[in-house]
Amino acid sequence: MTPQPTSDSSDSATEHAIETVFRLESPRVIAAVTRTVRDIGIAEELAQDALVAALEQWPRDGVPDNPGAWLMATAKHRAIDLIRRRETYARKLAEIGRSLDTTVPPVEPSAPDDIDDDLLRLVFTACHPVLSAEARIALTLRLLGGLTTPEIARAFLVPEATVAQRIVRAKRTLATKNVAFEVPYGPEREARLGSVLEVIYLIFNEGYAVTAGDDLLRPALCEDALRLARVLSGLMPKEPEVHALTALLELQASRSAARTGPTGEPVLLKDQNRSRWNRMLIARGFTALARAEAAGATTAPGPYALQAAIAACHAHAHAYEATDWPRIAALYAALAARSPSPVVELNRAVAISMSEGPAPALRIIDTLTTDPSLKDYHLLPSVRGDLLLRLNRPKEAKAEFLKAASLTHNEQERHFLQTKAANCPQ
């Protein structure tokens, strides 16, 4: 222990250090304690108890040399105390009796392909398909991202009470459904992995293109999602789609600084200052994509691998004019065959407009205008407006831009689209 001064400023600094450590270490603490008590809700309460103990002791005794280990040991000892106090846990206490004096969780038999990591078990539990997508996101950000309920509420522009209810219900559902604290095997693992990756991707996308509000970006959400993806790729090094998602997020995040102007307005890809793209993130993205390709060498690329390859095409281009649009169009065609969706088709149309011209792209777009899933999707009329403008049909383009502006819930995008409409030639 390093003794700390007792001034108010040093106490404040210590509290800040405690909060920072807890945010970083709480996922592993909760994961390890969950393995003992088999209940995420109880495990989170015990982790919070350890935080309270740190807030009481560290300002007085100093910050431990290994604060993460201190929090882990404190939470585990509280778990053992809880088991001791409850008669209903008597049998469980007997099972772990030999490990009461250690901070190591009880050893369990593992299958040959088991991934013996409590944090990975927590990821798969928090993202269990028995929960709704909204509940999975909230629980993942709370347990694995270390975010508070108010922070999650602010990120997704929903009331705190709504987020709190989602988290409480998610924990209750996992308990009542007796969801095992485990990483599934074989086909079930593959199915559950899809849910895990989807949650991380949704979190990133909400930060990268904010659905509603005054800001176009919420960098903190992107950072949380990217950190989760990096952790997952380290825990599951043989899964190509895990590396592919990490590559996609690294490459997308590399452009963040160039995507907005001085007042927060959107900057289109063709107008971005590529010197502002983060070269370190691009390099990390290329490395993750290479790992994905190596891990999936004997299988067809998955949807995240295809999207990462598209992002890599943009990252490789030193200028917008140097972009390999034919390859991007081909990759979108492969993605449409692998995971068909109207949004993928919309993106394919954009790539075709750049490689073959606006006329064939408009024909594709026009087939999407009757798709009910895109009825309120503002990017459809926005793209259609761009194509009409390139085809010298400004009056129609203006109508499309105004329609897109009426559909978006993001103030920066609305202003951007209204400006495009106003600038259409008469």
Answer whether residue 68 shows pLDDT above 70. Answer: yes
**What's the CA gap between 320 and 315, in Å, rounded?**
10
pLDDT tens digits, one per residue of 321-334: 999 999 999 999 99
pTM of the model: 0.74
- Look at phi and psi of residue 38 and say left if phi exceeds 0, alpha if psi is from -120 to 50, else beta: left
Answer whether residue 146 shows pLDDT above 50. Answer: yes
The pLDDT, as a whole number, for residue 103 is 43
**What's the CA gap between 257 and 408, in Å, rounded?**
22
Mean pLDDT of 121-125: 87
Closest Cα partner for 157 from 95, 83, 213, 236?
213
pLDDT tens digits, one per residue of 386-411: 999 999 999 999 999 999 999 988 88
Name the token pair of 76: 């585990």
pLDDT tens digits, one per residue of 178-220: 888 888 887 788 778 888 898 888 888 877 775 656 565 677 7
Closest Cα partner for 48 from 75, 27, 83, 73?
75
The pLDDT, as a whole number, for residue 13 is 75
Answer whether residue 111 shows pLDDT above 70. Answer: no
**What's the CA gap between 325 and 322, in Å, rounded?**
9
Closest Cα partner for 211 from 417, 386, 421, 413?
413
pLDDT tens digits, one per residue of 283-318: 999 999 999 999 999 999 999 999 999 999 999 999
Strands, E, within 183-259: which ranges? 212-213
Residue 191's alpha-carbon distances to 44, 334, 340, 366, in angstroms, are: 26, 21, 18, 34
The pLDDT, as a whole number, for residue 108 is 41
Tally the residues of the chain: 426
pLDDT tens digits, one per residue of 248-257: 999 999 999 9
Q: 372 or 100: whose pLDDT is higher?
A: 372
